[in-house]
């Protein structure tokens, strides 16, 4: 049985600054990290596996994605699959979900797909539910404390009125809440080994999946960036203590 973990490489927020006045993103150092909550998903997968399971790390993209996969191998993932194709450069969530569906079919015996519930950059948090929809698998969002019992997976997930225990039949897609666990560190020797091993990451192209022209058509396109207004000087609301409390409560609620 395979447990698939989807990893996304994102630009390290420490490597760039956003200047709202100049309306520009200044990249000081272009370095990539594994999307933090995907690391939680990987940790959840590694702690769920029994001896008959393999954790398969999956990523789409170029060198940063490959680095993410090597780190995952060093952390303990059994296999790593990279889909690398120039046609995927402007892929949106639809294309990513289509590619992942083909990967899941290609691997067969996949019983669980895990991914992070929050993505720092442009993913828009729709890969999980879209993938679940194309596979017609159940989807659990923002899971804590994943457990597998026989042919079902249980988790604690947030609903509108607090945390609920939810259960889904396998196979399933589960997005793992950020900070729901503490991702393990990769041992240094292992990191060196996976970078030496040329076969640590298996690479596929879109055509091998097979992902045709229609599967590669994005439905959204990027038209640029915009910036929130510059920070203004602080306000000092006036009024009776009760009125003040109401105003502050309003401000807190808006965040």
Partner 1 sequence: MDMTHISTLMGEAVTAENYADIWVALPALRAAPLLGEARRLADALGCYVHAVIADKDLSQQAIAFGADRVHVAAEAVSFLAGQQPEFVFFPVSQGRQAAQLAQRLHAGLITDARNVSLDDSTRALLGSHPVYGGEYLLDLAITSLAKVATLDPRFLPEPFADPSRAGEVTAAPATDGRPPTAARDLGRVDYAPHPWRPLTKAKVIVSAGRGVKDAEGFALVKQLAASLGAELAGDQSARDSGWVDEAHQVGVTAQEVAPDLYIAIGIRGDTMHNAAIARARQVIAIHSNPDAPIFAVADHGVVASPKEFLPKLLEHLA
Work out how close the CB of 219 gets to partner 1 at its nearest, in angstroms, rounded to a whole number: 3
Subset of 167-206 contacting partner 1 (CB under 8 A): 167-169, 172, 177, 179-182
Q: What token pair was written down for 16?
A: 């760039």
Per CB under 8 A, which of residues 62..121 are in contact with partner 1? 92-94, 97, 120-121
Which is nearer to partner 1, 81 or 140 (by Cβ)?
A: 140
Does position 26 interact with partner 1 (CB under 8 A)? The reply is no
Nearest CB to partner 1, comparing residues 151 and 160: 160
Q: Does 141 bind partner 1 (CB under 8 A)?
A: yes
List b or e across 86-124, with b for residues whose CB sees 16 or more CB atoms inside 10 angstroms.
eebeebbbbbbbbbbbbbbeeeeebbbbbbbbbbbeebe
- The answer to whether residues 45 and 155 touch, using CB atoms and an 8 Å cutoff, is no
Nearer to partner 1, 92 or 200 (CB): 92
Which of these, 48, 43, 4, lies nearest to 152 by C-alpha position? 48
Least Å from the CB of residue 217 to partner 1: 5
d(CA 168, CA 173): 9
In the beta sheet, which residues pair with residue 79? Answer: 56
**Nearest-approach distance from CB 187 to partner 1, in angstroms:** 20
Report in angstroms how near the CB of residue 173 gets to partner 1 at its nearest. 10
Q: Does 241 bind partner 1 (CB under 8 A)?
A: yes
Decide if 206 contacts 101 (C-beta within 8 A). Answer: no
Q: Establish if 15 lies at the interface with partner 1 (CB under 8 A).
A: no
């Amino acid at each position: 049985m395979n447990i698939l973990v989807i990893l996304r490489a994102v630009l390290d927020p420490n490597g760039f600054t956003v200047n709202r006045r100049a309306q520009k993103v200044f990249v000081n150092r272009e370095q990539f990290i594994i999307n933090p909550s995907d690391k939680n998903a990987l940790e959840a997968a590694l702690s769920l596996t029994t001896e008959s399971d393999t954790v398969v790390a999956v990523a789409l993209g170029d060198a940063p994605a490959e680095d993410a996969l090597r780190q995952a191998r060093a952390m303990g993932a059994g296999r790593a699959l990279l889909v690398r194709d120039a046609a995927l450069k402007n892929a949106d969530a639809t294309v990513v979900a289509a590619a992942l569906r083909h990967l899941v079919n290609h691997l067969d015996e996949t019983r669980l797909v895990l991914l992070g519930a929050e993505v720092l950059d442009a993913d828009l948090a729709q890969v999980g539910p879209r993938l679940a929809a194309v596979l017609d698998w159940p989807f659990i969002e923002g899971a804590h404390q994943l457990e597998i019992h026989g042919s079902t997976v249980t988790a604690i997930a947030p609903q509108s009125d607090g945390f609920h225990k939810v259960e889904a039949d396998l196979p399933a897609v589960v997005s793992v809440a950020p900070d729901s666990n503490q991702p393990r560190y990769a041992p240094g020797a292992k990191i060196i080994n996976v970078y030496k091993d040329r076969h640590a990451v298996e690479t596929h192209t879109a055509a091998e999946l097979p992902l045709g022209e229609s599967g590669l058509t994005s439905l959204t396109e990027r038209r640029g960036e915009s910036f929130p207004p510059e920070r203004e000087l602080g306000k000092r609301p006036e009024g009776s203590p009760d009125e003040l409390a109401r105003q502050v409560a309003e401000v807190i609620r808006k965040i």
